[in-house]
Structure formats: C-alpha cells, structure tokens
Amino acid sequence: MVEFKFPDIGEGIAEGELLRWLVKVGETVAEHQPLVEMETDKAVVELPSPVAGVVRELRGEPGEVIAVESVLALIEATEPIPGTAPKPPSTAGVVGELEEAPTVEATGEIEAPKPALPRDRKLAEKLGVDLQQLRGSGPEGRITEADIRSAAAAGAPEPADERIPLRGVRRTMAKTMSAAAAVHVTAMEKADALALQQLRQREQPVAAGRAIRLTWLPFIVKALTLVLERYPLLNSTLDQEQGEIILHRQINIGFAVDTPDGLLVPVLRNVRRLSILELAAALQQLAKRARDRQIAPAELKGGTFTVTNYGALGGIWGTPIINPPEAAILGVGRIEEVPVVRNGQLVARPVVPLSLTFDHRIIDGGTAHRFLNGLVDHIEDPDLMLLET
C-alpha cells in the first residue's frame, strides 16, 4: 500500500487547503494522474499520483488545511513496488516544476475518523445545525445523523460571531504586513495628466491592433522607472543586521492585483528595458494569471518597488503600506477631471493623485518629495519618457 503524502513543493510552503478531490475511493488511477487540488499561499496546484493503482482511502475534506508531509491518500499499487518508491518525473504545474517524493511504507493504524461524514455535514448545513456546537455520540466522537437531527429538533444554540479561516493568500498577506517593521510615512502630490491622456488616446489604436489594453498604469510605471534611477534609495532594502542599505541594480516593479482570494503582487522584472506597449502587455498578462490563480511563486518574488492602483476601484487618496523588505510603495488614485487654474483661467483637467509611502529609516522627506516632483514632471510632460528611453 502506498502512502501518498502532501509533498514539500518548496518556496517555504508548510501547508495547503484541500480544495477538492479529483478521484473517489475504489477508483483506478494511472501514474501521474491528478488526485487532488490544493491551494497554497502561492497558487492552486494539482497533485499527481506517484503510482498506478486503486484508491483505497482519501484523507481530508474540502476546506481542511493540510500540513506538508501529511498522508493524503492510500493507494494499492497494481504493479510490483521496490523497497523504496521510484521518484516520478517532475510535474509542471501552475507553480513551475514540482517534484513529488512520496514514500512507500506498510500501513499502520488508519487515521481517526473525522467529526462528521461529508453526507452528515451536508445535512447539518441544510438543517442549520452548527457542528462546532455538538458532541458526537458515534465511534471516537464522530457526529452522527441522529446527533444532527436531534439538535435540529431541539433547536441548536445560536452560533457565535462568524469566524472566517485566515487561509491561502489572505493568510500570507496578514503575515507579510505583520512583519513590516518599516517606519511608514506618506507624502502626497497630484499631477496634471492632460498631455498623458492625449498621448494615450492617440496610441490606443496601435495597442488595440496588438490586442493590448492601454491603460494609464504602463505610462506611470515607465515614468516611475526613469525617476527611480535618479533616486536609488527608493529602490533599496535595509539590512539592519549588517548596518547596510542595499541599492538594487535592477528595477523590479511589483503591482498589486485585487483577486477574489485577496491581494497578490506579481513582479515585473528589469522593467527599464521594456517599452510602454511591452509593459502594458506584461501587466495585462500577469494580472490575468494572478486573478485566475495561475501565477507562479517565482513571479511573486524579487520586487524592489511596488505600485498599487486603487484608483481602478474608485479610490482617490490612500496611505499604502510598504511591501517588505522594500523601501517604498506608490499609490495611484482615480484620475478624474477637476477644476484647476491655468494662466489665470479656470479650466477642467484630468488629475492623477499620487501617494508615496516610504521607510523613514532609509529615506528622508526631502528625497521623497523630490522623487514625487520628478514623477509629476514625467506625467505632465510624457515626452520626457521618450527622451530618456
């Protein structure tokens, strides 16, 4: 009997949430056939069977958090198995190369049964019974159908305040923000985006001809990249143990993507070499993969500066939190026409609100404001992007 374990897939992942089983007990499976769909804090992955055989037991239910190296299933192999399990070829999944290393051991005691069978869980949900409030009368504390119907007839106690498990992306986000030890200070500025708006409108047909959606963001990222070269402290990391500031040679821009599961920050690497159209295409593709949970863990690492475009959700001003270990983050608000005075005349202009949060342990206020002024210059005069590219 082969014990199929939740393998260590690297990237510091210690656990995952079981989303759904792709096979049933008694089903015959082929070697490398996907058995289960798991969600880690990085992505959703399908885990394949290490051998061909018959599924004898499935352990764990959808929604349950499983630790790495826990046994997920027992498979009766249909072919002779040597003393040690053969190492299957690496499996390409949404997280990149995935090596499975299940071990073959004689089975001992079967894991204790779960508090309730799946069919009884469904019954409890239908009858409005909170299983957490019940004590099971079945073997080893299992909650039985009779327990559930009895509680429903008696009127189950009112459940406590709703608690949502902190899992997957949201759990990682909470841990990351808790580790943010930077001294956060936010400086704000606004830029007249009329010239940039006109440039974007002129080039829309070119982008559309290449199936690229030309938003404001690639222009702002391009301008940001050029200004970061002049102010490298904003593209740095503080190494407190060594008493050093690490100035990064490459500019790798992370950009926050709002997904149904929480915030993900894919990273565009070495953006200095990308044109505005290439930036637009890359941003579009990465954002889609992030929302579809098909982003690779490597694409969520290595950022040196982050942009969060809460303007896409209608926000105007904000105080974004630095994505550690970076030194700064730029928040971009909703671009809208507002009345401004130009040459003594009141006119309507599209204005972009900018919020720069920086680590005051590394960056002083003067440097932050000079950086913002440089960014404003490039937004108000986008020809500067052509001259410096």
- Residue 267's pLDDT band (boundaries 50, 70, 90)? very high
pTM of the model: 0.60
Residue 126 burial class via C-beta count within 10 angstroms: exposed 0-12, middle 13-18, buried 19 and up: exposed
**Domain spans of the chain, in order of start:** 2-98, 169-388
Segment 109-121 shows an average pLDDT of 62
Residue 332's pLDDT is what? 96
Residue 182 has pLDDT above 90, yes or no: no
Between 172 and 215, the higher pLDDT residue: 215
Q: Round the average pLDDT of the chain to a whole number and report it.
A: 83
Segment 319-338 shows an average pLDDT of 93
Backbone φ and ψ of 143, nearest 5°: -80, 125
Residue range 44-65, pLDDT digits in tens: 788 889 899 999 999 989 988 8
- Residue 320's pLDDT band (boundaries 50, 70, 90)? very high
Contact 37, 20 (CB under 8 A): yes
Contact 68, 7 (CB under 8 A): yes
Give the pair of three-digit tokens for residue 351. Answer: 């204005």
Taking phi over 0 as left and psi of -120 to 50 as alpha, with beta for the rest, 132 belongs to: alpha
Residue range 129-158, pLDDT digits in tens: 888 888 887 777 788 887 887 777 666 454
Residue 167's pLDDT is what? 66
pLDDT above 70 coverage of the chain, percent: 82
- Residue 96's pLDDT band (boundaries 50, 70, 90)? very low
Between 296 and 303, the higher pLDDT residue: 303
CA dihedral 8, 12, 15, 19 (to 10 degrees): -90
Among 56-60, 153-157, 231-235, 369-373, which stretch is predicted with the lowest mean pLDDT? 153-157
d(CA 309, CA 110) in angstroms, rounded, equals 50
Catalogue the active-site residues: 360
Q: Is 238 helix (H, G, I), strand (E, B) or coil?
A: strand
d(CA 198, CA 251) in angstroms, rounded, equals 27
- Residue 99's pLDDT band (boundaries 50, 70, 90)? very low
Instruction: Identify the DSSP state of 139.
Output: G
Superfamily of domain 169-388: Chloramphenicol acetyltransferase-like domain (3.30.559.10)
- Residue 262's pLDDT band (boundaries 50, 70, 90)? confident
Preceding amide of 260 cis, omega within 30: no
Residue range 206-215, pLDDT digits in tens: 999 999 999 9
Segment 255-284 shows an average pLDDT of 90
- Residue 166's pLDDT band (boundaries 50, 70, 90)? low
CATH class of 2-98: mainly beta
Cβ atoms within 10 A of the Cβ of 62, count? 13
Say which residues have a Cβ less than 8 Å from residue 87's Cβ, sequence separation at least 6. Answer: 99, 100, 101
